[in-house]
Structure 1
Amino acid sequence: MSTFFLFCAIVGGTILALQLLLTLLGVGGDLGGEGLDLDLPDLPDGDTGEPTVGHDAGGFSDLAKRITFQGVVSFITFFGVGGLAAQGSGVSSVGSLVAAVVVGTLATAVLAFAFAGVRKLQGSGSLSMSNAVGSIGRVYLTVPGGNGGVGKVFVTVQGRSEEVRAVTPGPELRPGEAVVVVHAIDDRTLEVVSQSAYVAKTASLAD
């Protein structure tokens, strides 16, 4: 059990330290992220058997998508540290597991606030989302169609790659799809459309 705890602490700690360093350097935008795109299907809605579409919160699918890479790494790191500390104090194997889970959970919550503070400091200043209009980006989290919900896209703003909220009036945009920013709704949200649809519309207007 000690070997397992040690492995978690070393591997998780190494990744966490690297992640923090890259975040402070501003490399690759927001490495903490807000959620891993697990691309889970929407759950049935009540007795109708119809899938729910465009829900911004609620349900197992939404909860899963909010699991962040930074959170997982933080938990693994301090799960190992907590387990080692408990075993060093002579606690039983079961007690060590409980202590490891508790320490990992608490440390993950604390670090989530810390990373959020770092990202807020990075995002403050002269960064203006209006400067992203016309830029090409990539979908990170599915953007529901018909302004039915909020997704995420990676887009370059003032020379920096940023992960920002996005909505679209057109069809649903899937992860990896190229998009064009057509409007900055506010300092956190962009309106985007599929690059192929944008190019087609531009070509038709030019004829």
Structure 2
Amino acid sequence: MEEWWVGISNFEKFFWILAVPSSALFIVQMILIVIGIDDNGDILDIDGDLDMDLEPDVPLKLVTLRNAIIFFTIFSWSGIMGLRKDYSKVFTIGLGLILGLAVIAILLFIEKGILKLTESGNMNLNYAIGVIGDVYLTIPSGGERWGKVQVNFQSSLKELDAITYGEELPTGTKIIVTKVENGLLVVERLNKT
């Protein structure tokens, strides 16, 4: 092993130094996905804000830990392949960059398609008007901040964001949906006295 390492060029060593750890991290990442432990908590917005979940209405993130691992894995193995085929250094780096970015672009395209499938495009919030439900997370008074309610409409129990213009509604309060504003349910206490 030592003879092999001494016998390769520094340029090839660069690619091997990237390939081994990025491939190991890639394998760990795939195992976590398969066993269901994977979490999108590593998503880092381009502006540096940490987003703890990826909602369907949030733009896809280009710079993530997952994408970096995938990019460096593809880039490094493409570089090693290019050197084995005796490509020039410039062509080898270019090939690695192009293939790495192409794989990321393909994955973002696939992820965008998957997110479209999870969108609530067929859920019409207007059908919730008049429905009775329960407060799940306390809804502050005044309609400036939202809480969450659980309501049963369109054949399933849904947890949705809601506001109230009346008094604060604590968890467990029975509510009725009175209207929809800006994608939020407007609710009030069911038995107002």
Give the structure-2-normalised TM-score: 0.47
Structure with max Cα Rg: 2
**Larger relative contact order, structure 1 or 2 (CA cutoff 8 Å, min sep 6):** 1
TM-score (norm 1): 0.44
